[in-house]
Amino acid sequence: YKDVCKTLDPKEEYDLFISQTPIVNAGAYGMDKPIIILNSGTLWLLNDDEISFILGHELGHIMSDHVLYRTMTVLLIQLAEMGFPVVGLAARAVLVALLEWYRKSELSSDRAGLLTVQDPEIAMNAMLKMAGGIPNGGKWDSEYSLDEFIAQAEEYKTGGDVADQVYKVLNLMATTHPFYVLRVSEIRDWIEGGDYDRIIRGEYARRGEPDPAYQEDLKEAASAYADGAKDFLDTMTDAAKRAGSDFMSGFRR
């Protein structure tokens, strides 16, 4: 963890705790003073380099100021699961939006994890193991293939018809994390787009330097969300039209 902090250079070293649970996960939580929690199941599953990726991912959440909204989302989910009256229709609409943001924050922090280990294979192997539950040093280590996992990721991202695309979106709407196959595709797109190499070369803003691109980043993010929402609505409309056409065709037969 100290090596991870040395690489990402946070303003301070945040407390790290281990939670005794077989569920493979980690998290960053808190308000004024965030903490990182690493589940013992994750230590069982991953090797040291892959653990560094996970710790860098969680530290990325803190350094990106994700933690407050992520904590709010977790609390709302817990209240909703308990059937608490405060989680009415308005709050549920907020929760849907927070979950979409939450999933996007995972993609951002995957980048922080990659910048920590500076080896794409380590990052993607960690995702493969967390997707499939392959133990560190276990007898199945020789039976999985990162190349096949990447191929599966690309197939999931681009394959299927209109209805399949709708189902993919609906499957994600109630989740906090994108599927690992999607996360692998996104991290590969980021690498191939050149941003990863640019940062590794040292081309990034330093702490205390002005960030003139901040407003542009906000505009770009807003535009991306708007385009994504429009694409989803168009896909839903096309699927509904096709379903209606198939129904009428079957009815005539």
Q: What is residue 144's predicted lDDT score, i.e. its pLDDT? A: 78
What percent of the chain is predicted at pLDDT more than 90?
34
* Separation between Cα atoms, residue 208 and residue 25, nearest integer Å: 33
| pLDDT, mean of residues 54-63 | 94
pLDDT at 171 over 70: no
**Residue 37, pLDDT above cutoff 80:** yes
Mean pLDDT on 97-120: 86
Residue 209 confidence (pLDDT): 77
Most confidently predicted of 77-81, 98-102, 123-127, 225-229: 123-127
Distance in angstroms (rounded) separating the CA atoms of residues 59 and 39: 15
pLDDT at 31 over 50: yes
pLDDT at 122: 96
Residue type for 220, please?
E
Q: Residue 135's pLDDT band (boundaries 50, 70, 90)? A: low
Three-state SS string over 210-224 comes to CCCCHHHHHHHHHHH
Taking residues 110-132, what's their average pLDDT? Answer: 94
User: How many angstroms separate the most distant Cα atoms in the chain?
Assistant: 70
CA pair distance 24, 39, nearest whole angstrom:
6
Q: Which of 106, 124, 112 lies closest to 46, judged by CA?
A: 124
Mean per-residue pLDDT for 239-253?
A: 55
Report the alpha-carbon distance of residue 6 to residue 21 in Å, rounded.
Answer: 28
Question: Measuring CA to CA, which residue among 5, 227, 202 is closest to residue 116?
Answer: 5
- What pLDDT sits at residue 202? 92
Dihedral over alpha carbons 99, 197, 37, 208 (to 10 degrees): -90
- Structure tokens given for 225: 């969300």
Region of residue 133 (phi > 0: left; psi between -120 and 50: alpha; otherwise: beta): left
Per-residue pLDDT, 66 = 77
Q: How far apart are CA 73 and CA 79, in angstroms?
A: 10
Token pair 């299927």: residue: 160
Buried b (16+ CB within 10 A) or exposed e, 56-80: bbbbbbbbeebbeebbebeebbeee
Note whether 49 and 117 are within 8 A (CB).
Answer: yes
CA–CA distance, 190 with 197 (Å, rounded to integer)? 10
**pLDDT above 90: residue 174:** no
The whole-number pLDDT of residue 235 equals 58
Query: Which of 134, 94, 112, 95 lies closest to 28 in space, CA to CA?
Result: 112
Mean pLDDT of 90-107: 69
Q: Of 219 and 218, which is predicted with more confidence? A: 219
Mean pLDDT of the 26-49 span: 91
Label residue 82 by pLDDT band (50, 70, 90). Answer: low
pTM: 0.74
Q: Return mean pLDDT, the chain.
A: 77
**Cα–Cα distance between 217 and 212 in angstroms, integer?**
10
Q: CA-to-CA distance for 52 and 48, rounded, in angstroms? A: 6
